[in-house]
Amino acid sequence: MKQKIILDDIVSIRGKRTDGYVNFGQKPDGSQFRIPVIIIEGEKEGPTLLVDACTHGDEYEGAEAIVEIAKKLETEKFVGTFVGVPALNFEAFSCISRVSITDGYNLNRIFPGNNESYITHRLAYTYMEKVVKFVDCVITFHGGGDVLHLEPIIGYLPGDDEISKKTLELAKAFNQKFIWSMQNLPFNGVTSIEYKRILGIPTVLPEVGSHCGRLYDREGNVKICSDGIVNVMIALKMLDGEAPMPVEKMNVELHYLHARNGGIQKLLKQKGEIVEEGEILGEIYDVFGNKIEELEAPYRGVVIGFWSVPVIRPGDWWYLYAKILD
């Protein structure tokens, strides 16, 4: 059995549940930079599942689901250990910001971090050393946050090795339509890649919900997250129960199509739409109403998401557009 997570500050112990913090730096006001951690022990020994959210501080759907599921697991019988981290970048979460406030870093570009430089690097390092190292698999929630819309899409790292196979199995078990093969990410320092590379831990990365859905479908998106956690726990045999009827899956490879210019953008293709190569996805207008840019679909694909704010800046992600793999 793996060694257990040790919390620096314990807030409460209630039955089989412990809430507390892992600390990673004292602020000038004497308080700590800290990671909130919920640990719930099941009835029998088994796998340790870590579920976290708010690596990007404005992606709250997973956070709400973790809080809900933790409450349920307090009184439910299960096998193994559930570790919930509802707000990994707690500072960004508190300030409704995608990235860290203190040093401006995007936490999901700097893993595995280090303990010698900036505070966000120390957050990544501390999290891996004091939490992730002690678990068997991870669900790390993301979403569209405040400026993007994304259809629910479940990321996994493909490969022929056992870790990759396990990740795909768990991504499928999460049970949403879009399964995202993440072999072509255009950036480094991502949790799932580093957990696999350094710790040999499989990580599923669901993107669920955004500001667009929060008016009418906030609870619906939180439910997608909590159902997904339960489905993964059933697949890991942590929870009893039947796996749900599998939904029809589409395996995709996501590409980030950027805006060349800034302006007022119009979305011509909508979420989930299948688009033929050469069709126009979107247009950008200047403030005088002149069209200054069109975005052509580079291949036949499906619209997973887009920039949801009317104004876009040069270089921003415009369409999250996916190749259909099978």
Residues 6+ apart with CB under 8 A from 162: none
Question: Is the omega angle on the peptide bond into residue 112 within 30 degrees of 0, that is, cis?
Answer: yes
The verdict on 56 binding Zn ion (CB under 5 A) reads: yes
Cα maximum dimension of the chain? 66
- Binding segment for Zn ion (CB under 5 A), chosen from 21-29, 58-66, 81-89, 237-245, is 58-66
The verdict on 142 binding Zn ion (CB under 5 A) reads: yes
- Which residue, 37 or 63, has its beta carbon nearer to Zn ion? 63
Binding mask 59-78 for Zn ion (x = CB under 5 A): x-------------------
Ranked by CB distance to Zn ion, the top (closest) residue is: 142
Number of residues that bind Zn ion (CB under 5 A): 3
Residue 65, classed as helix, strand or coil, is helix
- Binding segment for Zn ion (CB under 5 A), chosen from 54-62, 176-184, 189-197, 213-221, is 54-62
- Binding segment for Zn ion (CB under 5 A), chosen from 119-127, 138-146, 174-182, 242-250, is 138-146
Residue 63: its H or E element: helix 61-73
Least distance from Zn ion to the Cβ atom of residue 55, Å: 6
Q: What span, in angstroms and rounded, lies between the C-alpha atoms of 52 and 37?
A: 9
Quick one: three-class SS letters along 223-290?
HHHHHHHHHHHHHCCCCCCCCCCCCCCEEEEEEEEECCCCEEEEECCCCCCEECCCCEEEEEECCCCC
- Which residue, 23 or 106, has its beta carbon nearer to Zn ion? 106
The verdict on 121 binding Zn ion (CB under 5 A) reads: no
Residues 6+ apart with CB under 8 A from 207: 141, 142, 143, 144, 150, 152, 153, 154, 155, 180, 305
CB 251 within 8 A of CB 181: yes
The verdict on 196 binding Zn ion (CB under 5 A) reads: no
Tokens coding 192: 């799932």
CB 190 within 8 A of CB 109: yes
The verdict on 149 binding Zn ion (CB under 5 A) reads: no
Tokens coding 44: 């029998």
- Binding segment for Zn ion (CB under 5 A), chosen from 50-58, 88-96, 187-195, 294-302, is 50-58
Least distance from Zn ion to the Cβ atom of residue 59, Å: 5
- Which residue, 26 or 188, has its beta carbon nearer to Zn ion? 188
- Which residue, 92 or 238, has its beta carbon nearer to Zn ion? 92
Binding mask 226-245 for Zn ion (x = CB under 5 A): --------------------
- Which residue, 143 or 202, has its beta carbon nearer to Zn ion? 143
The verdict on 211 binding Zn ion (CB under 5 A) reads: no
- Which residue, 182 or 238, has its beta carbon nearer to Zn ion? 182
Residue 166, classed as helix, strand or coil, is helix
Least distance from Zn ion to the Cβ atom of residue 115, Å: 24
Q: What span, in angstroms and rounded, lies between the C-alpha atoms of 264 and 242?
A: 48
Least distance from Zn ion to the Cβ atom of residue 155, Å: 10
Residues forming contacts to Zn ion in the complex (CB under 5 A) are 56, 59, 142
